[in-house]
Amino acid sequence: MSKIVSFEDVSYQYEGVNEYAVHGVNLEINKGEFVLLMGASGSGKSTLCQAINGIIPHVVPGKLKGKVFVDGYDTTRLEPPSLSKFVGMVFQDPEIQLFSLVVEDEVAMSLENRAVPREEMRGLVDWALGVTGMDSLRLSSTIDLSGGQKQRLATAAALASGAEIIILDEPTAYLDNEGTRAILNVIRELCRDKGKTVILVEHKVEQTLQFADRVIVMSQGKIVKDGPPKTVFSDLATMKSVGVRLPAALELAIELNVAIPNIPLTMEELRRLVPDEKLLPVISDRLPRLAGTSGPPSVQLENVSLSYGPERRVLRDVSLKISAGEYVAILGRNGAGKSSLATLIMGLNKPTSGRVIVDGVDTRRASVAQMARKVGFLMQNPDHQLFTESVREELAFGPRKMGLSDSEVDSLVLKALELTKLTGLEERNPYDLSMGQRLRLALACALILSPPILLLDEPTIGQDLVHLTPLMNQVAELNRSGRTVIMITHDAHLASLHSRRTVFLSEGEVLADGPTREILGNEELTSRCGVDAAPLPRLLIEAERRGKVKAATG
């Protein structure tokens, strides 16, 4: 195979920053390879990608040392518009990477810019829309597309420009399992059938590892591992130290002391190595058991419907009772009504019919400010909430506005800092904190009034293990101390590790509600809800069907 990208001792320093974003990188990528690029946030992945498409050094100011070659061309000599003929890039956020309002216009945009003749352009647009499965939507408005469709459209735009190298920087972060599968299938076909070179940056290791020919792991601006998936993941010490999420099968294998040469990356591989009798008890221990739900009701939805106008009914006749101290995960496709359900619990929306009772209060008769004393709401992006100059001010603002005395405010701030392990950072500007710290600060803000219920809306989006683990541990701790936790997520594996009960929403209705291990392990049910079955419960259910689990788990 011929090489298509090469880095020769490349280092890059952003303007005004002392540390190198990438340092001493030597790398060769061959034509037609599927490369999975992994590493914690800030490890240099995006810098590496932007050095390939020429954004670095042409657009982002900084100091570049060494040489980057794309298809034999030195990227310092070609501007990004010229490099876009070789390299197409798809970014994380589907909302900000589309510039046109009609699907086919978006694909044609860069071709029009290059004055490609109309007939040729029409052929390229048709081909790119066909390859990405967007043909039937060519005249649709880009604003009305789902997240998955937007990402496929961005991929089509990159393909139409003739790019041989497709770089995808966390393209599935905002997508549900179906959207993720759709975009990953397109990428795999591009690589396998069309011979394109794919560089994929992803945290979703379970879904992506199976497609990769090669895994590159970065940490602190350097490439620390590079090779076939099995070889890379066999260096467990390195992989753990750089904060990369390990496949569930590998985590179990470590626990079971499976020999390194036989390292399993999928559950099927693990089962070939470890007998069920040994494997199933370990899985069973890892999954939380359903605790009794007989406590006083914490959140109660009684025949709740919610409509945004006559045509948009987002929730239909939903009835749900969550008891105090429960840990409940709510899953479903994008648009299933999960976030709408959260806004009802928070009181941001009032039900069109039925009623929502939260800790004894009917949300129809309470203001959002009153509900904030009952429910702590942690939204996806902590930066949507931060607005003061210091962590202390950020935490004190709400209680102070409620008229609490200075001593009361100080005491609440100290408690919230301790609870979220942010003590010592009181005087720091929130925007100077790391992503993980900002997440914990947003959690502290949600908890400052000591609400008995914690509501998390997609806390895992775009988060790596380094940031996610402390947050999830803290949430688990809060739950153990008696708080009710309701977590909205697409991540079935994460839900299976933390929640004891799972609710599936589909088209605004409750499709299933029960113990997490039963619900998330049921492949038929999960596929009906557009969710991938969680690997650990799935294995237990399969074993149960074969009659092994009872004997194994005692």
Partner 1 sequence: MSIIVKYVQLADYLTKYTPAKGYLYRLNPLTKLAVVIANIVLGVYLSSPGFSFLAMLGVFAATFTFVAAGGFSFSELIRRQWSLLVIFFGLIFLANTLLGKTAFNPNLKLTVIYQVVGFNRVWLTLSYQGLNDGVSATLFYASIFIAIVALVRTTRISDLAYSLQSLGLPFSISLIFTITIRSVSLVSGKLVTIYNAQRSRGFELEKGWGADRIRNIATIFRPLVTQLLRTAYDMSIIFQSRGLDFSSKKRTRLREVPHRPVDYAVISVCLAASVVLIALVPPAFYG
Q: List binders of partner 1 among 373-392 (CB under 8 A).
A: 373, 375, 377, 379, 381, 383-387
Minimum Å gap between C-beta 223 and partner 1 is 22
Taking the least distance from each CB to partner 1, the nearer of 194 and 401 is 401
Choosing from 141, 231, 303, 411, the residue that interacts with partner 1 (CB under 8 A) is 141
- Contact partners, residue 364, CB within 8 Å, separation at least 6: 350, 351, 355, 356
Minimum Å gap between C-beta 330 and partner 1 is 17
> How many whole angstroms separate alpha carbon 153 and alpha carbon 360?
47
Choosing from 21, 22, 25, 108, the residue that interacts with partner 1 (CB under 8 A) is 108
Burial class (CB in 10 A: 0-12, 13-18, 19+), 58: middle
290 DSSP 8-state letter: P
Three-state secondary structure along 347-386? Answer: CCCCCCEEEEEECCEEHHHCCHHHHCCCEEEECCCHHHCC
Taking the least distance from each CB to partner 1, the nearer of 80 and 297 is 80
Three-state secondary structure along 437-476? Answer: HHHHHHHHHHHCCCCCEEEEECCCCCCCHHHHHHHHHHHH
Choosing from 14, 102, 238, 366, the residue that interacts with partner 1 (CB under 8 A) is 102
255 DSSP 8-state letter: H
Binding pattern for the stretch 303-322 against partner 1, x by CB under 8 A and - elsewhere: ------xx------------
Closest CA to 2 of 32, 37, 41, 30: 30
Binding pattern for the stretch 198-237 against partner 1, x by CB under 8 A and - elsewhere: ----------------------------------------
Choosing from 100, 146, 262, 266, the residue that interacts with partner 1 (CB under 8 A) is 100
Taking the least distance from each CB to partner 1, the nearer of 142 and 516 is 142
Taking the least distance from each CB to partner 1, the nearer of 324 and 386 is 386
User: CB–CB of 28/199 below 8 Å?
Assistant: no
By CB under 8 A, the residues from 325 to 354 that bind partner 1 are 343, 346, 348
Minimum Å gap between C-beta 135 and partner 1 is 15
Parallel, antiparallel or unpaired: strands 165-169 and 87-90: parallel
Given the rule CB under 8 A, which of 4-12, 100-108, 127-135, 520-528 is the region that contacts partner 1?
Answer: 100-108
User: CB–CB of 27/5 below 8 Å?
Assistant: yes
CB atoms within 10 A of CB 418: 11
480 lies in the binding site for partner 1 (CB under 8 A) = no
432 DSSP 8-state letter: G
Binding pattern for the stretch 159-178 against partner 1, x by CB under 8 A and - elsewhere: --x-----------------
Choosing from 3, 85, 230, 355, the residue that interacts with partner 1 (CB under 8 A) is 85
> How many whole angstroms separate alpha carbon 342 and alpha carbon 331?
12
φ and ψ of 368, to 5 deg: -65, -35
Q: What is the DSSP string of 23-89?
A: EEEEEEEETT-EEEEE--TTSSHHHHHHHHTTHHHHTS-EEEEEEEEETTEETTTS-HHHHTTTEEE
Number of residues that bind partner 1 (CB under 8 A): 76
> How many whole angstroms separate alpha carbon 103 and alpha carbon 129?
9
Choosing from 372, 412, 417, 519, the residue that interacts with partner 1 (CB under 8 A) is 372
Minimum Å gap between C-beta 460 and partner 1 is 18
Taking the least distance from each CB to partner 1, the nearer of 178 and 457 is 457
Peptide bond into 57 cis (omega under 30): yes
83 lies in the binding site for partner 1 (CB under 8 A) = yes
Minimum Å gap between C-beta 457 and partner 1 is 10
φ and ψ of 511, to 5 deg: -95, -30
> How many whole angstroms separate alpha carbon 298 and alpha carbon 93?
35
Minimum Å gap between C-beta 207 and partner 1 is 24
113 lies in the binding site for partner 1 (CB under 8 A) = yes
Choosing from 112, 277, 418, 477, the residue that interacts with partner 1 (CB under 8 A) is 112
Binding pattern for the stretch 423-462 against partner 1, x by CB under 8 A and - elsewhere: --------x-------------xx-xx-------------
Binding pattern for the stretch 391-420 against partner 1, x by CB under 8 A and - elsewhere: ------xx--xx------------------
